[in-house]
Structure 1
Amino acid sequence: MKKNLFIAEAIGTFALVFAGCGAIVVNESFGGALGHLGVSTVFGLVVMAMIYSVGNVSGAHLNPAVTLGFVFAGRLDKRSIPGYIGSQLIGALAAAAALRLLFPESATLGSTLPGIDLARAFIVEVLLSFVLMFVILNVSTGHMEKGIMAGVAVGGTIALEALVGGPLTGASMNPARSLAPALLSGNLSSIWLYLTAPVVGTWLAHPTCRWIQGPNCCVLKPEGESSEADCNDKSCG
C-alpha cells in the first residue's frame, strides 16, 4: 500500500474528530451556541469534505468499522486492515490531543456517552452503523468513497443519523471517533459498546447490499480492475 494512502486516511480522520468532537466541546463551552442541529451538521459536513478531499486517495473510510465493512463485503483485502485502522487511530488521537490542548477544561472532549440503558444503546449503534455502511456500499466504487454524489450521500446520512441518534448514544458509528476522546478524557466506562456495535452493524450491511444489488455486488477485484460492470453500471462497486 502507498504511504500517501495512510497519510490521507490519518488527516481525514483527524479532521473528522477535531471538527466533530470540537463542535461538541464548543457547544458545551459556549452556552449551546451550535445546538444539536449544528453539531450534527458539522459531523456531516466534515465527512463530506473529507470524501471529496481524499476519497480518491484512500477511499476516505475515516472509520475502522467502515474499513472492516469493506473487508466483510469483499471490497478490500484484509491485509490492508492494519494500515487503515492504524492511520485512523493516529489521526483520531492527534485530534483529541489537540482538543485537550485547546480546551483543558472540557470533561469529555466530545466523548460518546449513552443517554439510554446499555442494551438499547447497543442496538441503536448497530442500526445506525448498518444504515451508514449500507449507504456507503451502494454509493462507493470498490472500497473507495468517491464521486460526485458519494460525499453528499454519506455526509447527509451521518448528519441525519446524528440528529436522531445523538441524544441516545452520541451516534458514534465509529470506534476511532469514540476511543480517542474517551482515552484522553478518561471516559472509558462504556467504550466497549462503541468498539463493538459499529462493527456488528457494518457486518450486517454486506449481505443486505448483496441481496439487493445481486451476487456480484461485493467482490474483491484485482488492483486496477473496475468492478462497476458487475453491478450493471450501478455504484455498488
Structure 2
Amino acid sequence: MGEISNGNHVVLDVKDDQSSSSKRPTNCKEDSSLSISVPFIQKLLAELLGTYFLIFAGCSSVAVNLNFDKVVTLPGISIVWGLAVMVLVYSVGHISGAHFNPAVTLAFATCKRFPWKQVPPYILCQVCGSTLAAGTIRLIFQGEQDKFTGTMPAGSDMQSFVVEFIITFYLMFIISGVATDNRAIGELAGLAIGSTVLLNVMFAGPISGASMNPARSLGPAIVSLKFKGLWVYLVSPTLGAQAGAWVYNMVRYTDKPLREITSSASFLKSRQSS
C-alpha cells in the first residue's frame, strides 16, 4: 500500500525515470503520453492481483461469517483483513508499491511521490480487481448464501463519513511514516500497515464497515447493484488519505531549523531528496 523503503533508498521507485530511457531494453515499447513497458505492465498486474486477493480474502470472511452462524466473528474478520494486507505488501510491495487502494494512490500523487500519469491505470486495475473478487464470491455463495459483502452505513451517512475519514487518515499517516520516511524501519512496513487495518476494522467495522478504500466498497456495490451510501466510501477515504499524507509531511519537517522551514516555498511540499 505504499512504497517500501530500505535504508536510505526506496526499494521501489514507481516513477519512470526519463533519463534512463536510453538504458532500457529494445523490447520495451513506449507511448508518448504514458510509458508502456514490461515493468509497468507488471506493476499493473501486481495491483490487479493484489487487490483481487485482498478483497477476496476480506469479503469472503464476511460472507462466511454471515452464512455460518457468525463463526468467524468480528475479531476474526479484522485479523483476515490485517493479515491479507500484510502478506500482500511483503509479496508485491517491491513490484508495484502495494497500493491496492485508489485513495492511497491519489494521496501519493498529490505528495509528489507517485507520477500522475500512472494514477488512472493504477485506479482502474484496483477497481477491476475488487469487482472481479466480488464477482467470484458471488459465484461461490449463491442462492440464500448470496449476502452483500460490501459496506453500508449502520447509522447515519454523516456518522460513517466521519469514521471513515478518521480511520483512513490514521491508515495513511502510518503508511507515510513506515513506507516513505527514510528514518523508519522499512522492513516492518507490512506488519505496521496490516496491524493498522486490523485495529481499524475491529472498532469501526460495526459502524461503517471500515472500508478505508473506495475500491473495496465499489467492487461489491457494482456486483450486487447496491449503491446506498456509496458516496461516503468514495469521498471520505479519499479526503482522509489526503489529509493523513499531508499531515505526516508536516511532521516530517520538525527536525529542521525554523528558518529553513519558513524560507522554503511551502513546508507542505514533499522533500525531493527523500
TM range (shorter): 0.7 to 0.9
Which of 88, 106, 111 is matched with 1:50 structurally? 88
Asked if residue 180 in structure 1 is aligned to residue 219 in structure 2, the reply is yes
Which of 228, 232, 235 is matched with 1:189 structurally? 228
Q: Secondary structure at the match of 1:172?
A: coil
After TM superposition, give the deviation of residue 72 of structure 1 in Å. 1.9
After TM superposition, give the deviation of residue 207 of structure 1 in Å. 2.5
Most deviating of 12-21 and 211-220: 211-220
Give the Cα–Cα distance (whole angstroms) in 1 for the partners of residues 226 and 104 of structure 2. Answer: 24
**Is there any run of 5+ residues in structure 1 with no aligned partner, and where?**
222-226, 229-237
**Conserved 8 A contact 2:82-2:195:** yes
Query: Which position in structure 2 is the counterpart of 1:113?
Result: 152
Percent identity (aligned): 39
Give the Cα–Cα distance (whole angstroms) in 2 for the partners of residues 76 and 135 of structure 1. Answer: 17
**Conserved 8 A contact 1:129-1:173:** yes
Q: Secondary structure at the match of 1:57?
A: helix
Give the Cα–Cα distance (whole angstroms) in 2 for the partners of residues 72 and 196 of structure 1. Answer: 16
Please tell me the residue identity of whatever aligns with 2:136: A
TM superposition score normalised by structure 2: 0.76
Give the Cα–Cα distance (whole angstroms) in 2 for the partners of residues 102 and 209 of structure 1. Answer: 41
- What is the aligned length? 220
Please tell me the residue identity of whatever aligns with 1:171: A
Give the Cα–Cα distance (whole angstroms) in 1 for the partners of residues 59 and 192 of structure 2. Answer: 21
Query: Which position in structure 1 is the counterpart of 2:190?
Result: 151
Q: Secondary structure at the match of 2:187?
A: coil
After TM superposition, give the deviation of residue 220 of structure 1 in Å. 7.1
Query: Which position in structure 2 is the counterpart of 1:171?
Result: 210
Query: Which position in structure 2 is the counterpart of 1:73?
Result: 111
Give the Cα–Cα distance (whole angstroms) in 2 for the partners of residues 166 and 202 of structure 1. Answer: 18
Q: Which runs of 4+ in 1 moved over 2 A?
A: 105-109, 215-221
**Bigger CA radius of gyration:** 2
Give the Cα–Cα distance (whole angstroms) in 1 for the partners of residues 269 and 107 of structure 2. Answer: 11
Asked if residue 8 in structure 1 is aligned to residue 46 in structure 2, the reply is yes
Q: Secondary structure at the match of 2:151?
A: coil
Q: Secondary structure at the match of 1:134?
A: helix
**Conserved 8 A contact 1:73-1:218:** yes
Q: Given the superposition, is the C-alpha separation of residues 179 and 54 from structure 1 closer, same or farther in structure 2, using an over 3 Å criterion?
A: same
TM superposition score normalised by structure 1: 0.88
Q: Secondary structure at the match of 2:153?
A: coil
Q: Secondary structure at the match of 1:55?
A: helix
Please tell me the residue identity of whatever aligns with 2:236: A
